[in-house]
Amino acid sequence: MPTAGAVVALVISIVLLAQAVKDLPAGAAYAVRTGIGASTATLGIRLFDEPAALVRTSFISVIVVGIRFARRLERVATGQPGRPTAHRRTGDRI
C-alpha cells in the first residue's frame, strides 16, 4: 500500500510541476520541487529516525547547494542584485 501512495504522490507532483512551469521559469519551478524533496528527506531523518547515512546527507547537501547556486546564477543572468550586505561605518558603536 505505501508503494501505491508513493506513485500517487509522484503523479500529483509532476502534474503540479507542469502547472507551475506555465507561470514560472522551468529552472525555478524544478528547484522548488527539488528543495521540497530535500526538505522532506531532512524531516524524515529528524522526525522519524530514518538513517542519516553520510551518503544521504551528502546528497541532500549537494541539492541545497545546487539550488542556492542556481538562484545566484539566475540573479546574475537577469541583472538582479543579490542580497544587500550590511556595512558598518568606522564610527558606529556595536
- Among the listed residues 23, 57, 79, the one whose alpha carbon sits nearest the alpha carbon of residue 32: 23
Model's pTM, two decimal places? 0.59
- For residue 30, what pLDDT band results from cuts at 50, 70 and 90? confident
* Cβ atoms 37, 24 nearer than 8 A: no
Q: Give the tens place of pLDDT for each residue, 33-74.
A: 888 888 889 999 999 999 999 999 999 999 889 888 877 887
- What is the C-alpha end-to-end distance of the chain, expressed in Å? 59
* Cβ atoms 63, 34 nearer than 8 A: yes
Question: What is the per-residue pLDDT for 25?
Answer: 84
For cell 540573479, name the residue. 75
At 86, give phi and psi (nearest 5°): -90, 120
Cell numbers describing residue 70: 542556481
Percentage of the chain surpassing pLDDT 90? 28
- Among the listed residues 71, 42, 72, the one whose alpha carbon sits nearest the alpha carbon of residue 56: 42
Can you tell me the distance from the alpha carbon of 75 to that of 52, in angstroms, rounded to the nearest whole number?
33
Q: What is the DSSP secondary structure assignment for residue 79, as one 8-state letter?
A: T
Question: What is the per-residue pLDDT for 7?
Answer: 92
